[in-house]
């Protein structure tokens, strides 16, 4: 409106003072041109008046529209203010609930922390108690072995006197030593048949034993006493195999490094694995990168395989590694090593697309298993000892009859195989396509498949065949429940990095721990129960750790790396 008025007053200056005086009537003598000018001015004023009226109408219309929009906006603002009030009330209620929940959560967290501390203390007490029990059992076995040796020596004494005092004269020192050695071996054989010796039975039997048996009745009485002592034995502390092994270790003389005398006796069963703490021995074991390492079932022999095409056998003596023998015959680098459960055979996979079987009694190459079209990454025995399984980069898994030798079955997968674990009834393979495949070894049919986030580098299975361990290139270890075929636990650690496509991770012999080497040369050990890292150990490694092996006795752990170095770890 102000704009219209401004335009009107500009053209009619008389309106500025609020008055307008009409033009006086023209005199007759006014010229015709002057009248024409007034008529034109009046015409312009009428035209402007019409324009101003039209503009005033439009502005009025715009004003009414703006007023309606303002009313709508005010109404919307009122609604929003009402909603804001309600939301503020809801926010206050939620804030109150959050405060209550935070208080409850804090209380639960305090209870959890208290229980966790109590759990860790009890778990530590349990571990300490188990160590004490293990040490006492070891001491008891040593004491029993000494007492059994002394007892058998006294029992055999009446049998030796007639030999010494017979009419042929007295034997010389060398003859006596030879007889002592024969009798020593006989005693070892007799003691090997003893399954157990209870303290109560031993005490009662010692009490019934005559102090000085007469020479005439010594032989028969000694034999009857010895047989009754053996028959009455029953042991509840440890199993028969461990007792036998302890007796063997007590009587065993350390052999020389000749292959025919390599000790590949029966397996040792671990009661509890010891956490590694220090490097007992560090040495260069191959002329190239070390890809595989494995302890024998009796934990006395260590085998290593490297890119120098050799498999080397090492004797573990007093925390050191002594080279026993080098097994030759591979045409390319060794990728995997496996002892059979008896300890008398060794199977190794190779980059030359084959696997080889050595007999450790004479250290001679027994068979070459060839048939793959790419390098063999895994070669494992089945429990039957007559069959083996190999996995390769060609995606094939082959089952071999070691008596012929020949491939009896081939299992085809769509991806490269990195590792294999097996028994008589099943085969489990890890692949580069991020899959773990389960096979029925009798029918050759794939029964299940488990997907991971990255390609699998290794597999391992615990002693009771209930848990499977996998290592993958996403720097993660997965523990799978074999009864459900599902991932039960995922293990990670700050700084742990899987260094290669063939990096190995393993269970401890008792299944309580998991060990794996990182790309920076650090050994990581996890507790299976809690999933926590219980040890971070840096030895003499300066490059990626390729493989780890834990002795079945639980005493030693060996790590090998890319720079030809092996570290022997123990708990002291």
Query: Same domain, yes or no, for 200 and 315?
Result: no
More reliable by pLDDT, 154 or 419 = 419
Q: Average pLDDT over the chain, rounded to whole?
A: 79
225 and 88 share one domain: yes
pLDDT above 50 for 423: yes
- Is 28 within the bounds of a domain? no
Claim to verify: residue 486 and residue 359 sit in the same structural domain: yes
HEC string of 38-105? Answer: HHHHHHHHHHHHHHHHHHHHHHHHHHHHHHHHHHHHHHHHHHHHHHHHHHHHHHHHHHHHHHHHHHHH
pLDDT at 10: 55
83 and 149 share a domain?
yes
- Give me the domain span that covers residue 223: 1-13+38-166+178-253
From CA 313, how far away is CA 325, in angstroms rounded?
Answer: 5
Please check whether residues 330 and 218 belong to one and the same domain: no
pTM above 0.75, yes or no: no
Rounded mean pLDDT, 239-253: 44
Q: Give me the number of domains the chain comprises.
A: 2
Residue 212 pLDDT exceeds 70: no
Q: Give φ, ψ of 115 to 5 degrees.
A: -65, -35
Looking at per-residue confidence, does 351 or 246 come out higher? 351
Same domain? 437 vs 537: yes
How do residues 279-321 score in pLDDT, each as one tens digit? Answer: 999 999 999 999 999 999 988 899 999 999 999 999 998 889 9
Band (146; pLDDT cuts 50, 70, 90): confident
Domain of 426: which CATH number? 2.130.10.10
Given a cut of 50, is residue 48 above it in pLDDT? yes
* Residue 447 covered by a domain: yes
Write down the pLDDT at residue 191: 46
**Which DSSP string corresponds to 456-519?**
EEEEEE-TTS-EEEEEETTTEEEEEETTTTEEEEEE--TT----STT--EEE-TTSSEEEEE-T
Same domain, 296 and 247: no
Whether 321 and 400 map to the same domain: the answer is yes
Question: CB–CB of 504/544 below 8 Å?
Answer: no
Confidence of residue 268 (pLDDT cuts 50, 70, 90): low
Which pLDDT band holds residue 266 (cuts at 50, 70, 90)?
A: low
Tens-digit pLDDT profile for residues 74-86:
999 999 999 999 9
Q: Is residue 443 part of a domain?
A: yes
Instruction: Write down the pLDDT at residue 263.
Output: 61
Taking residues 325-353, what's their average pLDDT? 93
pLDDT tens digits for 440-473?
988 889 999 999 999 999 999 998 889 999 999 9
The reply to whether 172 falls in a domain is no
Q: What is the mean pLDDT of residues 229-238?
A: 38
Claim to verify: residue 544 and residue 472 sit in the same structural domain: yes
Query: Could you give the CA distance from residue 352 to residue 356 in angstroms, rounded to a whole number?
Result: 11
In a domain, 151, yes or no: yes
The first and second tokens of residue 417, run together, are: 């195989």
In a shared domain, residues 311 and 235: no
Residue 6 has what pLDDT? 61
pLDDT tens digits for range 87-143: 999 999 999 999 999 999 999 989 988 998 898 889 888 888 888 887 888 788 888
Domain membership of residue 70 (yes or no) is yes
Tell me: do 368 and 446 sit in the same domain.
Answer: yes
The residue from 253, 269, 293 where one domain ends is 253
Give a yes or no: residue 21 inside a domain.
Answer: no
Residue 264 included in any domain: no
> Which residues have a Cβ under 8 Å from the Cβ of 238 and sit 6 or more positions away?
137, 141, 271
SS3 state of residue 524: strand
Q: 534 and 418, same structural domain?
A: yes
Please give the pLDDT value at position 138.
79
Confidence category of residue 192, pLDDT binned at 50, 70, 90: very low
Check pLDDT > 80 for residue 343.
yes
Tell me which of 380-384, 448-452, 536-540 is least confident. 380-384
């Amino acid at each position: 409106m102000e704009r219209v008025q401004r335009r009107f007053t500009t053209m009619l200056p008389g309106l500025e003072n609020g008055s307008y005086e009409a033009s006086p009537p023209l005199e007759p003598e006014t010229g015709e041109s002057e009248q024409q000018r007034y008529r034109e001015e009046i015409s312009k004023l009428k035209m402007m008046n019409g324009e101003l009226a039209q503009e005033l109408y439009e502005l009025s219309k715009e004003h009414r529209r703006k007023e309606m929009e303002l009313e709508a906006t005010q109404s919307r603002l009122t609604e929003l203010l009402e909603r804001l009030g309600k939301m503020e009330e809801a926010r206050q209620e939620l804030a109150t609930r959050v405060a209550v929940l935070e208080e409850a959560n804090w209380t639960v967290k305090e209870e959890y922390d208290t229980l966790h501390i109590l759990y860790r203390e009890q778990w530590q007490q349990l571990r300490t108690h188990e160590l004490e029990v293990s040490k006492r059992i070891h001491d008891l076995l040593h004491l029993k072995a000494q007492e059994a040796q002394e007892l058998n020596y006294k029992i055999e004494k009446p049998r030796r006197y007639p030999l010494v005092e017979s009419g042929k004269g007295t034997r010389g020192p060398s003859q006596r030593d030879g007889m002592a050695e024969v009798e020593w071996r006989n005693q070892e054989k007799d003691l090997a048949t003893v399954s157990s010796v209870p303290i109560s039975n031993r005490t009662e039997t010692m009490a019934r034993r005559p102090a000085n048996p007469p020479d005439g009745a010594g032989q028969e009485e000694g034999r009857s006493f010895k047989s009754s002592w053996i028959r009455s034995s029953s042991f509840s502390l440890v199993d028969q195999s461990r007792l036998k092994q302890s007796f063997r270790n007590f009587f065993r003389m350390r052999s020389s490094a000749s292959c025919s005398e390599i000790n590949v006796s029966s397996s040792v069963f671990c009661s509890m694995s010891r956490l590694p703490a220090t490097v007992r021995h560090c040495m260069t074991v191959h002329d190239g990168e070390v890809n595989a390492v494995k302890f024998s079932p009796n934990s006395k022999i260590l085998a290593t395989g490297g890119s120098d095409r050799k498999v080397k056998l090492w004797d573990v003596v007093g925390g050191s590694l002594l080279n026993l023998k080098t097994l030759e015959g591979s045409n390319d680098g060794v990728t995997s090593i496996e002892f059979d459960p008896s300890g008398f055979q060794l199977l190794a996979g190779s980059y030359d697309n084959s696997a080889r079987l050595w007999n450790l009694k004479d250290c001679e190459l027994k068979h070459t298993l060839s048939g793959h079209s790419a390098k063999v990454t895994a070669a494992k025995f089945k429990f039957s000892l007559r069959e083996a399984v190999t996995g390769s980069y060609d995606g094939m898994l082959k089952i071999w009859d070691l008596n012929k030798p020949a491939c009896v079955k081939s299992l085809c997968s769509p991806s490269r195989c990195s590792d294999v674990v097996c028994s008589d009834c099943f085969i489990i393979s890890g692949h580069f396509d991020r899959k773990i495949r389960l096979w029925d070894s009798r029918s050759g049919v794939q029964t299940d498949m488990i997907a991971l986030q990255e390609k699998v580098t290794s597999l391992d299975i615990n002693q009771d065949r209930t848990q499977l361990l996998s290592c993958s290139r996403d720097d993660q270890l997965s523990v799978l429940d074999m009864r459900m075929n599902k991932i039960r636990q995922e293990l990670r650690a700050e700084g742990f990095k899987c260094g290669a496509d063939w990096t190995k991770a393993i269970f401890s012999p008792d299944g309580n721990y998991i060990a794996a080497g990182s790309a920076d040369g650090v050994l990581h050990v996890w507790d299976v129960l809690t999933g926590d890292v219980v040890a971070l150990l840096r030895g003499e490694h300066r490059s990626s750790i390729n493989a780890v092996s834990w002795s079945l006795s639980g005493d030693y752990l060996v790590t090998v790396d890319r720079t030809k170095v092996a570290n022997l770890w123990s708990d002291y």
